[in-house]
């Protein structure tokens, strides 16, 4: 079960709330980037960034010099992962909507200092974007590790919201001669584009070539 703190208990759209921890994992594991919200000088700052999950911990990373991580280190953050699944086309302008799956996580991130957890966090972040790459490429040097801060955020306080299915119109609008339904959205992989600077003729590795066509 997910937490039910005041800020993870939905005020609006209650019927869209999911309360199972597996729903949270599913939204996070299907994502590629999150939007990290921090407060910097009293003002919110929303930054798209990579992430990875190990159990009930979310890992974020960034240069040790990044403003968003400095701000995040001193206060609570909100991490949101959103999958947009379709546009909901209703018979009335008012009932237009979107189908989506989203997760919001609140918490005070912890700067990872343990070298093993630091490496595991970076691995999780890399594998989230590019499964199979960590073991296929040159591992980080000591200098590269020192330049990369890793933050750990507990998944203790999180909410999940899902909307799916056709529009919900006002009773009297169903008789209108207006097409209604859902225009689905899919995220698909294109054909891998080799780096023109490759010095040898290398085949696209299976773990890249075999990624499923439709994700999210």
Residues 82-111 that bind a copy of itself (CB under 8 A): 82, 84, 86-87, 89-94, 96, 98, 100, 102, 104, 106
Stretch that binds a copy of itself, among 16-24, 40-48, 52-60, 109-117 (CB under 8 A): 40-48
Under the criterion CB under 8 A, does residue 177 sit at the interface with a copy of itself? yes
- Does residue 156 touch a copy of itself according to CB under 8 A? no
Query: Least Å distance between CB 103 and a copy of itself?
Result: 10
For the CB of residue 77, give the shortest distance to a copy of itself in the complex, in Å: 6
Return the SS3 of 167: coil
Separation of alpha carbons 181 and 167, rounded Å = 6
Q: Applying CB under 8 A, does 30 fall inside the site for a copy of itself?
A: no
Query: Edge to edge, what strands does the sheet with 97-107 contain?
Result: 17-18, 157-163, 97-107, 77-89, 33-40, 43-50
How many residues make contact with a copy of itself (CB under 8 A)?
Answer: 97
Which among 14-22, 52-60, 110-118, 204-212 is the span making contact with a copy of itself, rule CB under 8 A?
Answer: 204-212
With respect to a copy of itself, which residue has the nearer C-beta, 156 or 182? 182
Q: Which of residues 184-203 bind a copy of itself (CB under 8 A)?
A: 184-200, 202-203
C-beta neighbour count of 210 within 10 angstroms: 10
Site for a copy of itself in 108-147 (CB under 8 A): 122-123, 126, 129-130, 133-134, 136-141, 144
Q: What secondary structure does DSSP assign to 20-89, as a single string?
A: -HHHHHHHHHT-SEEEEEEEETTEEEEEEEE-EEETTEEEEEEETT-HHHHHHHTS-EEEEEEEEEEEEE
Find the largest Cα–Cα distance for the chain. Answer: 67
Neighbours of 4 (CB within 10 A): 11
């Amino acid at each position: 079960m997910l937490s039910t703190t005041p800020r993870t208990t939905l005020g609006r759209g209650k019927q869209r709330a999911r309360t199972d921890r597996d729903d949270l994992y599913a939204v996070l594991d299907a994502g590629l980037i999150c939007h990290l919200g921090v407060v910097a000088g009293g003002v919110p700052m929303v930054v798209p960034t990579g992430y990875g999950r190990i159990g009930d911990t979310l890992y974020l990373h960034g240069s040790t010099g990044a403003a968003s991580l400095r701000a995040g280190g001193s206060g609570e953050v909100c991490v949101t992962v959103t999958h947009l699944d379709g546009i909901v086309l209703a018979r009335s302008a008012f009932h237009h909507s979107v189908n989506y799956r989203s997760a919001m996580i609140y918490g005070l991130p912890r700067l990872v200092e343990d070298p093993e957890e630091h490496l595991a966090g970076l691995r999780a972040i890399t594998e989230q974007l590019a499964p199979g790459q960590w073991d296929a490429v040159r591992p980080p040097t000591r200098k590269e590790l020192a330049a990369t801060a890793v933050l750990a955020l507990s998944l203790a306080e999180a909410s999940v919201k899902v909307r799916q299915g056709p529009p919900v119109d006002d009773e009297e609008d169903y008789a209108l001669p207006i097409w209604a339904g859902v225009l689905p959205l899919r995220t698909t992989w294109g054909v891998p584009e080799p780096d023109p600077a490759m010095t040898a003729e290398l085949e696209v590795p299976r773990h890249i070539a075999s990624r499923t066509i439709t994700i999210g």
